[in-house]
Structure 1
């Protein structure tokens, strides 16, 4: 008999629709388990234990909620179960997934996040299938680590490494991954690994170690990290921090697909000038995503490096941002946080460039 812990946090998968309004409901999460137990595919060899530390729509999630969730998982002793499943809202699952990957990088059992595109009572909803597939993944693969399981619009039940999932697109409601490369998929209720040089082999997953050490009572996550996305005419003069107590600890600045942003030498639209100003104020600036720093870069990219920014190579924005929030919160000082960001791979968040073929 497999023992699984199912942790409810709210979200659409734990919500109910009343008229034209969708909101979390006290009974919504448990209705999900009742529906699963009524499925023909429900496994008789699985015992489910439940916990609900949060009950909110995931767009309302804050760093305090991450702390609550992480502490709840740690206090349950996840190693005493065969697997842990976290039901989550789809809006911010792609942020909670890497956050839990960093905090539980050395977990010895599967920790899976899943969601639903509609409340489960809606005929269009995939939440019940996603839950069933998550349970099947634990029962079949039993791989240590943190994952996300979610059915796409083609009916494919994809399994993602949790640091390699990209936020749902607004018009398709579909999660993505770097290079459109999932870790694998569920087929006939069994896990099939996606054989690719950029994917770690399943048998290597247990080698991850706990790079970020924390305790539930003292876990700190830095909510002063700022994220900026570039667009034509972005005016950096709007970002000014005269008050030492009200300035960001670090900034993640997104890039255009070619690894660039406005590199004018000076003026209010100049990212190099903004980086230099931040550096003078003791604010670290990181740039992401960048596929491969060893490849030829545009001249504008070199100018950003010369201004003092740090490129985060091979990591998607969601994983980079949550890594900053965790690192700058847990590290003893900014120097240690910078080292973790630039040098430490915690849970496969850096996707290597390369072609197909197994990776040892």
Structure 2
């Protein structure tokens, strides 16, 4: 089995020095060392950039896309991308948009702590990714991650990841439905986990002009400038509701509509809506198709990067 490993930094490629976590070239070799003795496994490695993932920008996304695209042309059985946890969901969504239907597995792995920390899950995440490739389970883009209190490592569809819960590194798929679970020996596959159709690689622009607004009480919206904004995404409460009686929100939406700036609301649940959601149309708010806010953000960023109206990215 031949595996291409693309190193990009992150906690999985870092060590603790003088009380701070920072990237360390030696961590790359520490990750591979336990697996190099396996006679049926050959690794090819590349390191197109090294960052802590909170610093992810368009430049790195474009380099990562290019590296994965070139890797898929190589004589290998699959690709493992090491990545930081902070923006893991965004890179996974971008790679899903670009290569979601690829025949080889592309799997992002990360670690909640540096590998020399006994709490690290990086080795387990890497092992699950390696076995997924070895067993030729599926092509496409995935994320391998073992949550802190879970007995099994989850294989998530790259476009299905929710944002982290506050202060937590654990990962969850939308509907709590990962693609597969690995118990260290066998995979349990969930056929209900569908993959999104890709749109191909995109040259992401550095400043897409996306205003992402979270929901919280007493927000009068007066401090949100629309200068240079190409699209607005409202992140609703967990019940997919917005404060539609808020005069500030009404005024903000009216201003955006007048400037022909689309205002979207992300919808991460597919059951019955609350009464306040009926007012979305009146306010000129477009409810996005059921999915994660990360995937919606990346799809809108991709559309803007291609100089397209983001409304058409969702066939709305």
Q: Distance in 2 between matches of 1:290 and 1:130?
A: 26
Spell out, residue by residue over 1:275-319, the C-alpha distance to the aligned partner (whole angstroms, 9 max, x if none): 221111121111012423xx5433321212222111113201111
State the shift of 1:53 in Å: 0.9
Q: Distance in 2 between matches of 1:168 and 1:210?
A: 24
Q: Is the 8 A contact 1:222 1:328 kept in 2?
A: no
Spell out, residue by residue over 1:196-233, the C-alpha distance to the aligned partner (whole angstroms, 9 max, x if none): xx423xxxx6xx7543454xxx5546632121101001
With structure 2 as the length reference, what TM-score do the two structures score? 0.92
Q: Distance in 1 between matches of 2:129 and 2:88?
A: 15
1:306 is paired with a residue whose SS is helix
Match in the other structure for 2:293? 317
Match in the other structure for 2:243? 262
Is 1:333 equivalent to 2:313 in the alignment? no
Change (3 A) 1:316 1:185: same
Match in the other structure for 1:15? 14
Q: Distance in 1 between matches of 2:233 and 2:266?
A: 7
**Counterpart among 108, 118, 121 of residue 116 in structure 2:** 121
Match in the other structure for 2:165? 169
Match in the other structure for 1:95? 90
Structure 2 portions without partners, runs of 5+: none
**Counterpart among 63, 67, 70 of residue 58 in structure 2:** 63
RMSD: 2.1
Match in the other structure for 1:189? 185
2:222 is paired with a residue whose SS is helix
Change (3 A) 1:290 1:169: closer
**Counterpart among 137, 141, 156 of residue 160 in structure 1:** 156
Match in the other structure for 1:307? 283
Is 1:44 equivalent to 2:20 in the alignment? no
Identify which of structures 1 and 2 has the higher relative contact order when contacts are C-alpha pairs closer than 8 Å and 6+ apart. 1
Is 1:139 equivalent to 2:134 in the alignment? yes
Is 1:106 equivalent to 2:101 in the alignment? yes
Spell out, residue by residue over 1:236-281, the C-alpha distance to the aligned partner (whole angstroms, 9 max, x if none): 110123xxxx421111111112221111263x3xx23322211111
Q: Distance in 2 between matches of 1:180 and 1:192?
A: 15
Match in the other structure for 2:269? 291
2:143 is paired with a residue whose SS is strand
1:300 is paired with a residue whose SS is helix
Q: Distance in 2 between matches of 1:6 and 1:265?
A: 50
Change (3 A) 1:26 1:263: same
Equivalent residue pairs, number: 315
Matches within 5 A, 1:185-264: 185-195=181-191, 198-200=192-194, 210-212=198-200, 214=202, 220=205, 223-241=208-226, 246-264=227-245
Is 1:27 equivalent to 2:26 in the alignment? yes
1:135 is paired with a residue whose SS is helix
Q: Distance in 2 between matches of 1:210 and 1:299?
A: 34
